[in-house]
Amino acid sequence: MPQFRYTAIDMAGKRSSGTIEAASVLAVADHLHGRHHLLLRADEVGKGGWIAEFLHADLRFSRGLPKSAIAQFTRELAVMLEAGQDIDRALRFLAETSSSGTERRIFESLRDQVRGGKSFAASLAEHPAVFSRLYVSLVRAGEAGGQLAPGLSHLADLLERETKLTASVQSALIYPALLVVAAVGTICLLLTYVLPQFTPIFAQAGAKLPVQTRILIAAGDLVRNDGLWILMGFLVLGLVAYRALQTPQLRLSAERLVLRLPIVGLLIRRIQAARLTRTLGTLLCNGVNLVTALGIGQDVLGNLTAAAIVDGAVSKVRAGGRLAPALAEGHFFPVQTVQLLQLGEETGRLGEMALRVADIHDEQVYQMVQRLVSLLVPVITIIMGIVVAGIVGSLLVAMLSLNDLAA
């Protein structure tokens, strides 16, 4: 029987890890669920050696559903439950009307498990690659309070807001990305097609070319003859770097380096603050206690430094301390975040205040991205112009040197 290395969390928000023998990942989740633990991750130990593990970690695509699809599923389910439909009929309708085979299989699996006697939250927990801990916790809180439909409606609002923000940022980055592709394509075309047209002329003249022209000719030959190998080399280096950054020590060092950058560092801090406060506010407003909410909020953070600060805050809050001072000690989250959370604690409206903080940071992130994109476009254009002008200038200098030789 295979052995799995797992990471789980209990009802108090405390993490645990270890190894267990089980037939599958689903069996691991069932075993931990019986111990009142929620499975976060399970990996088979030693499967296929380190090469297979490397490929599996680096080349595997997402096994879940797009966030937009999950938001649509949540919204439709909430609407049907609010209209008086039972969960079984609602899940059957969603499975039958789904246009995706993956969605249909997941929805049918949820319906089968609910019909088998499991709660809806427990059924969702069986699909950790699709439904996050935040999702499962909100559904569990809604079921416990008899408010599943309103809870799903709030959850749909959260997912739709995140999807909208992500789509807005991606749309803003499309033009700079196309501009970079066009710039690289233009430079490669000049080096591999235009420049070689002049090489025979230079060779017949027998003149000694300027240094910059010789460098360009050598670069064009390299791209034309070994361009594919160079591209493959960059891809391999990218995969190796990605794999290396999975190591906590290297990833932490890289994150600290990025955080020191003037604009990018502030942008990352605000993104992490928005994620944390959005999660906290949504969970607290749905009846989840603060310790559990912080444990879940820690998982949605993509930054190890921020996660470590939240982990320390969990311990201090569990011991009776305040949240805002605990977050302030790490000097990571913006001062505005800490002050508003402190105000929420003092007024007894921490959940509502956390959601307001998240709205503020979301708007700040969107504005910063728009400004960066507005600055990035002319910078790319200027760099492209300088490079193209350099190539053309080198050709002109070489042609002029031929004229001087003929004279």
Q: Is 307 left (phi over 0), alpha (psi -120 to 50) or beta?
A: alpha
Confidence check: pLDDT of 305 > 60: yes
Roughly what angle, to the nearest 10 degrees, separates helices 290-300 and 304-318? 170
Task: Read off the pLDDT band of 236 (50, 70, 90).
Answer: very high
Which of 80, 130, 133, 85 is CA-nearest to residue 103? Answer: 130
**Joined tokens for residue 145:** 């309070």
For 162-175, give the DSSP string: HHHHHHHHHHHHHH
Q: What is the pLDDT of residues 30-72, one digit of tens each?
A: 777 777 777 767 777 655 443 434 433 433 334 567 888 888 8
Which of 150, 162, 156 is CA-nearest to residue 286? Answer: 150
Task: Read off the pLDDT band of 15 (50, 70, 90).
Answer: low
**3-class DSSP state for residue 403?**
helix
pLDDT, average across residues 307-332: 87
Task: Please tell me the predicted confidence (pLDDT) of residue 39.
Answer: 72
Query: What average pLDDT is seen over the chain?
Result: 81
Range from 64-78, 134-148, 313-327, 382-396 carrying the lowest mean pLDDT: 134-148
Residues 311/314/315/319 CA torsion (nearest 10 deg)? 170
Task: Please tell me the predicted confidence (pLDDT) of residue 61.
Answer: 37
**Cβ atoms of 285 and 154 closer than 8 Å:** yes
Range from 182-191, 207-216, 270-279 carrying the lowest mean pLDDT: 207-216
Residue 203's beta-bridge partner residues? none
- Residue 79: CB atoms within 10 Å: 15
Alpha-carbon radius of gyration of the chain? 28
Confidence check: pLDDT of 102 > 80: yes
For 18-65, give the DSSP string: EEEE-SSHHHHHHHHHHTTEEEEEEEETTTTHHHHHHHHHHHPPP-S-
For 286-314, give the DSSP string: TT--HHHHHHHHHHH---HHHHHHHHHHH
Task: Please tell me the predicted confidence (pLDDT) of residue 353.
Answer: 92
Task: Read off the pLDDT band of 403 (50, 70, 90).
Answer: low
Q: Is 265 exposed, middle or buried (0-12, 13-18, 19+ CB in 10 A)?
A: middle
**Cβ atoms of 85 and 148 closer than 8 Å:** no
Task: Please tell me the predicted confidence (pLDDT) of residue 13.
Answer: 55
Q: What is the pLDDT of residues 248-291, one digit of tens each?
A: 788 888 888 888 888 888 988 998 898 889 888 888 887 788 88
Task: Please tell me the predicted confidence (pLDDT) of residue 12.
Answer: 57
pLDDT, average across residues 134-151: 79
Q: What is the pLDDT of residues 347-393, one digit of tens each?
A: 888 988 998 998 898 888 888 888 888 888 888 888 888 888 888 88
HEC-encoded secondary structure of 109-146: HHHHHHHCCCCHHHHHHCCCCCCCHHHHHHHHHHHHCC
- Residue 288: CB atoms within 10 Å: 24
HEC-encoded secondary structure of 209-233: CCHHHHHHHHHHHHHHHHHHHHHHH
Q: Of 12-21, 178-187, 201-210, which one has max mean pLDDT?
A: 178-187
The pTM of this model reads: 0.66
Largest CA distance in the chain: 95
Residue 10's beta-bridge partner residues? 37
Task: Please tell me the predicted confidence (pLDDT) of residue 60.
Answer: 36
Confidence check: pLDDT of 187 > 60: yes
Confidence check: pLDDT of 134 > 60: yes
